[in-house]
Structure 1
């Protein structure tokens, strides 16, 4: 893909930001229409139910793997050039950070990406939680919490100064990634049919995965022709949230892919919600919910920076190129979320007698927030 003509119109930094804006807009629009949310999928799983949220998450994940691996086989992308693959990963960070992030997203009733999407629809709870997430992420990256993050991350790191690609590490051919993605997609479609999910939701869930591949391909293509070194990356919401916050707070802002991504997601979700007439202001239901959401956002902010990515950045973006620590972080996010739901949300309801026969695993008890 030749993009040199674009560099005659805008400079490299501006083009990277525009690529981030485009990737974010696709992600935001598709995520809003499909109600994509890792937290909702983990809660369904915790309550022994493979419902529509699980189907949506699996379809998004599989679509990302399929598109990214197909792009790599076609020569449009090279995972070894990806930022998260080219630097050393942290096994200890993936474990501790993943567990913290999983617990936090259950408490906050949404992962960091979902909070951004909901904020665009008028959800003030997500606005507050998202700001706390961004502030704590920045503190963890460069502020007071940075020494603790560095210590925890340094306990156990990948050898050789770079991360581990699972496919060659397991002696699997490159095509195995595409095969795994197709198998995961088949499972997702079976769950979708079982839960009577409409085709529009399936298309938009796949669109979220396509946005991941779009980001990888665009940044890789730009890196090949740019004069200055450019990061090969895609959608994630830990570093970009912190960087976007500082972009508006400093007097020397620098444009890059991350700076375009967050506004792009917000605008894409806003347009999708407006077209569906789903714009509505919502606030906290009470003080306890506010405390819970604030704590969850803080846990996600620290956990995401420690784990090397959030539910999207590590869970889908890193997973799509088979970064070993990203897969470990994703597994720990599931564990953290399942345990937190069992201890915080399920235990109180089980201990409180009720005359209602309401099924705790019913869809309405697993909102996409």
Structure 2
């Protein structure tokens, strides 16, 4: 699509921000309606009790992969210009950060995107956890935790193996990548049929996934037509959440870009979806111990997400959709860590005669 007309009437910075806002609204609305949640999906898988959350995640994940790969093949997305492929990435950060993020996700009962979506519906637990996540992410990006993050990240990088492009490393063709994605899409449909997941939930799950190629397409189009340099990127929440926090606390001079609109867009989209379906509901903490667990989880996600170069969406779906090796390593580490953490919590609860933690409820 030619953006010349829009660029002639809207400044590049504002158009990037509006584009981020639109992508955010799409993702937020569909994620809220589909109950998209990596934490719940991973726990269903780990416990061997697949229900609605696992097929929802699989459909969102596979839709993102298929849509992105098709756009790359059509020449609409320049994946080689994305940060994940254009510059060296941390392999050690992907592993360690993914492990930390997965544990934090279970403790906080939601990944970064899920906390943001739930915050807009009135969930104060998710709102406070999201703020802690953003503070720690900012400290890891530019603050006191930056040296520690950089040390861990420098242990092992993609420079040591020559590339972060998994398709190039494995010699995969476009057809192989699409067949792989279609397999998981069909697997999601099978799980959905067995669990009798409503069609609307499946449609909105796919819609949430398709927000990722929409972001890739828009930023690629802007990069090719704008005068100033534009970063080709998808949907992620670790860096944008940190930047949004600083924008609110101490706005710098020139702040308009794609990420500026993304986080508010997700919040707005989720709020509108919840409002229209009458799902707005104020919820708070149940006690001090519960609050401590949420804050610990948010802290682990903030540092882990920044170390890994992305969150459950940014690395786990956006990075995976262009087959960045570090993204797949992060995603694997998140799933593994979530299962281990859930097992440990279940063992602890058993010793205290407490019920096992819930899978699919709101955090």
The question of whether the paired residues in 2 share the 8 Å contact of 1:35 and 1:368 is answered with no
2:6 maps to 6
- CA RMSD, 1 decimal: 1.6
TM-score w.r.t. structure 2 length? 0.97
- Checking the alignment, whether the CA contact within 8 Å between 2:137 and 2:239 is kept in structure 1 is yes
> Any conservation in 1 of the 2:113–2:237 contact (CA below 8 Å)?
yes
2:361 aligned with 1:367 = yes
Partners of 1:35 and 1:273 in 2: CA distance? 11
The alpha-carbon deviation at position 349 of structure 1 amounts to 3.7
Return the TM-score normalized by structure 1: 0.95
Whole-Å separation in 1 of the counterparts to 2:38 and 2:171:
30
2:95 counterpart of 1:95: yes
Partner of 2:187: 187
Q: What are the Cα deviations for residues 297-334 of structure 1, in whole angstroms up to 9, with x where unaligned?
A: 01000000000100000000001110000000010011
The one-character-per-residue Cα deviations of 1:183-241 (angstroms, maximum 9, x if unpaired) are 11000000000000010000000001110010000000000011111000111100000
Take 2:353 and 2:5, find their aligned partners in 1: how far apart are those partners? 68
> How far apart are residue 52 of structure 1 and its match?
1.3
Cα distance in 1 for residues equivalent to 2:359 and 2:14: 43
- Residues 203-282 of structure 1: pairs in structure 2 closer than 5 A: 203-253=203-253, 254-282=255-283
Q: Which moved more, 1:169-178 or 1:210-219?
A: 169-178
Say if 1:115 and 1:129, in contact at 8 Å, map to a contact too.
yes
Aligned residues: 362
Cα distance, 1:141–1:161 mapped onto 2, change above 3 Å: farther
Q: Is the 8 A contact 1:87 1:162 kept in 2?
A: no
Q: Report the 3-state secondary structure (helix = DSSP H, G, I; strand = E; otherwise coil) of the residue aligned with 2:249.
A: coil
Closer/same/farther in 2, CA of residues 109 and 219 from structure 1, 3 Å limit: same
**Contact 1:87 1:163 survives alignment (8 Å):** no
Q: 1:41-88: per-residue Cα shift (whole Å, max 9, x none)?
A: 111122122221111111100000011011111111121111221111
How many angstroms apart in 1 are the aligned matches of 2:225 and 2:327?
A: 28
Given that residues 100 and 304 in structure 2 are in contact (C-alpha distance below 8 angstroms), is that contact kept between their aligned partners in structure 1?
Answer: yes
Structure 1 residue 335: deviation in Å? 1.1
Contact 2:25 2:270 in 1 (8 A): yes
Corresponding residue for residue 71 of structure 1:
71
Contact 2:106–2:341, Cα closer than 8 Å, also in 1:
yes
1:286 alignment counterpart: 287
Change (3 A) 1:232 1:55: same
Q: Shift of the alpha carbon at 1:251?
A: 4.0
1:8 match: secondary structure: helix
Which runs of no fewer than 5 residues in structure 1 stay unpaired?
none
Match for residue 312 of structure 2? Answer: 311
- 1:44 is matched with 44
